[in-house]
Structure 1
């Protein structure tokens, strides 16, 4: 079930990446339901996914600076 939740989280983030508020909300939800291993994988995936999206990358760094997603 863990992999399904991880995959669902990724797809949710892709769907809501249009606004900062929704992006942050999904990342906060992910930090509450994913295991530390899955959170680490999600962080790696987010860096990969936002590599060509500078606005989203800025949001990601803000989330990481606030230590929302860090286990």
Structure 2
């Protein structure tokens, strides 16, 4: 049996536990839709903030190049 990185194993276990928790909880269809919408918005915000950070880094780089 191959040894795995303990941090990776912990992440995998946490993901499995989270999925099991989501499946075991009885939710209404409206609650499910809200949860999915929140997750989608979270991902969108994360990607937007990442692009904004890249723009800021690019501006700083250009400023340093002109000096």
Using structure 2 for the length normalisation, give the TM-score: 0.35
Q: TM-score, normalised by structure 1?
A: 0.34
Q: Which has the higher helix share?
A: 2
